[in-house]
Amino acid sequence: MPSEPSKTLETFPNPQPQRDYQIHMEIPEFTCLCPKTGQPDFAHLTLDYIPDAACVELKSLKLYIWSFRDEGHFHEAVTNRIVDDLAAALKPRYLRLTARFYVRGGIFTNVVAEHRQPGWQPPARVELQEFASALPPNVRG
């Protein structure tokens, strides 16, 4: 039986809850409708989160994203709605959603919304040198 869109976000237990680690997802085919014109809006979503006790199950995320296809939403509202729904389902330590909407009327719209677990502070960032730039000039390609 074919899948259908759904607003249900399923989760599974975080396999490493003692560690802060980032999950990065690219969702290049998000669509919803302009609430003013009914025309389709297209966006590339980038989801980054640091899980606490739960991670999002990918098929449910796909069906959830699909559920917006025939709904009218302003860019700002739908981005924040997705963050709120994911935060409610996952209760992550940190979550950021970047929505890059494609051009409409000569304007690109990017909306970034975040959620932080109260009291959570990110560990200090470690900067690593890229491998190629660490090689001597005569060895680089």
Question: Model confidence over 82-103: pLDDT tens digits?
Answer: 999 999 999 999 999 999 999 9
**Identity of the residue numbered 59:** K
Q: Which residues of the chain have pLDDT under 50?
A: none
Active-site option among 20, 32, 34, 85 = 34
In angstroms, rounded to a whole number, what is the distance separating the alpha carbons of residues 79 and 17? 27
pLDDT at 113: 97
Which of these, 15, 39, 53, 56, lies nearest to 101 by C-alpha position?
39
pLDDT in the model for residue 125? 82
Q: What's the pLDDT at 21?
A: 95
Confidence (pLDDT) at 89? 98
The closest of 91, 85, 53 to 67, measured between CA atoms, is: 85
Backbone Cα Rg of the chain:
18
Domain ranges in the chain are 11-134
Query: pTM of the entire structure?
Result: 0.86
Predicted pLDDT of residue 105: 81
Question: Mean pLDDT, the chain, as a whole number?
Answer: 92
Question: In which region does residue 28 sit, left (phi positive, over 0), alpha (psi from -120 to 50) or beta (all else)?
Answer: alpha
- The catalytically annotated residue of 20, 32, 41, 48 is 41
pLDDT at 129: 74
Cα(118)–Cα(50) distance, integer angstroms: 13
> Which CATH architecture describes the domain 11-134?
2-Layer Sandwich (3.30)
The secondary structure of the chain, three-state, reads CCCCCCCCCCEEECCCCCCCCCEEEEEEEEEEECCCCCCEEEEEEEEEEECCCEEECHHHHHHHHHCCCCCECCHHHHHHHHHHHHHHHHCCCEEEEEEEEEEECCEEEEEEEEEECCCCCCCCCCCCCCHHHHCCCCCCC
Catalytic: 41? yes
pLDDT digits (tens, 9 = 90+) for 115-124: 999 999 988 8
